[in-house]
Amino acid sequence: MAPLTDSLGRVHTYLRISVTDRCNYRCTYCMPAEGFRWMPHAEVLSYEEITRLARIFAAAGVRRLRLTGGEPTLRKDLPELVGMLSEIPGIQDIALTTNGHFLVDQAEPLARAGLRRINISLDSLRPERFARLTRGGDLARVLRGIEAAHQAGLRPVKINAVLLKGENEDEVEELVEHFGQQADRTELRFIEYMPFEARWHQCVPAAKVRQRLAERYTLIPQRGSSGEGPARSWMIEESGLLVGFISPLTEHFCAGCNRLRLMANGHLRTCLAHEDTPSLRDLLRQGASDEQLDRAIRAMVMGKPWGHDCQADGGTLFEGVMTGVGG
């Protein structure tokens, strides 16, 4: 079967699947403090619907899946879905992005079900600041969740830190030092803030962070990165820690984008920045065959835009709300 290719020739092998838009945190850069409307339960894809669509994507060449949210571990019996997806022919890797709050109990069953890698969001190592940025998060619990992921054999554990100007950028070296002690099993990634609907914060450019680190450490550039994602990685020679930079605003990587996003309500978002996507859920529930769904997916991918025009200071903001998109 022909690969999933868009009009620019980009081949898509990576599908991010949002299993819910709900989250137990209210991170200041992700959603407003109040007035947010969750998707009605009836609009959210069932595990059987997700698995059927994933099979169609796999037949078209998708090899890697990542489960996201909202907070995916809020979805009941998530290991069951991981097990269903791990049995799909052609799927080579299943990963998860989480805030880590529930990992103490879920890391082991998820790993047994077939999860291989995990990304955990952690924007501060200072308890009070962490609670403020997440609007109620528990840093100690997340740190225990990271250790549970290690004990479950998930490799590597990637720590995602979104840097916000004037909020937590002073912790760059602190994060490097802390996770440098786990360099054999952990990677650290600094992510530029992406504004959705409103610019609530200012981003810290990746180049500025690299410059700061280079003044203190020896940075060795790495070819590629584990997981073949958008991060560009350097190794801290002093500790062996891999540090990645995801810079969607100052160093666009749209030209090489191989990712698609299946939202929790079944809309296929071909570009993170654009929300005007049709619903595969509606086609599926109207009785479409696998062949009809495959044709619809290919038409959507062919119409994928070149990328986005959001800049660190200006441009067009991303559409929607991050928790509904799946990151």
Q: 80-117 pLDDT, tens per residue? A: 999 999 999 999 999 999 999 999 999 999 999 999 99
> Which uninterrupted H or E stretch holds 233?
strand 232-236
Q: Which amino acid is at 182?
A: Q
In this predicted structure, the answer to whether residue 209 has a pLDDT above a threshold of 70 is: yes
Q: Give the model's pLDDT for residue 199.
A: 47
Top pLDDT among 232 and 60 is at 60
Could you tell me which residues are beta bridge partners of residue 68?
18
DSSP 33: S
Q: Give, in order, the Cα–Cα distances in Å from 39 to each of 19, 181, 264, 316, 325.
A: 11, 40, 8, 25, 12
208-214: Cβ within 8 A, 24+ apart:
209/163, 209/169, 209/172, 209/245, 210/234, 210/245, 212/172, 212/173, 213/172, 213/173, 213/176, 213/243
Six-digit token string for 117: 């890698």
Q: How many other CB atoms are found less than 10 A from the CB of residue 215? A: 8
- Mean pLDDT (whole number) for 253-257: 73
Could you tell me which residues are beta bridge partners of residue 191?
162, 246
In this predicted structure, the answer to whether residue 315 has a pLDDT above a threshold of 70 is: no
Mean pLDDT over the full length of the chain: 89
39-54 per-residue burial string, b: 16 or more CB within 10 A, e: under 16 = beeebbbebeebbbbb
> Which domains does the chain show, CATH number per domain?
14-325 (3.20.20.70)
- Mean pLDDT (whole number) for 226-246: 85
Q: How many other CB atoms are found less than 10 A from the CB of residue 92? A: 11
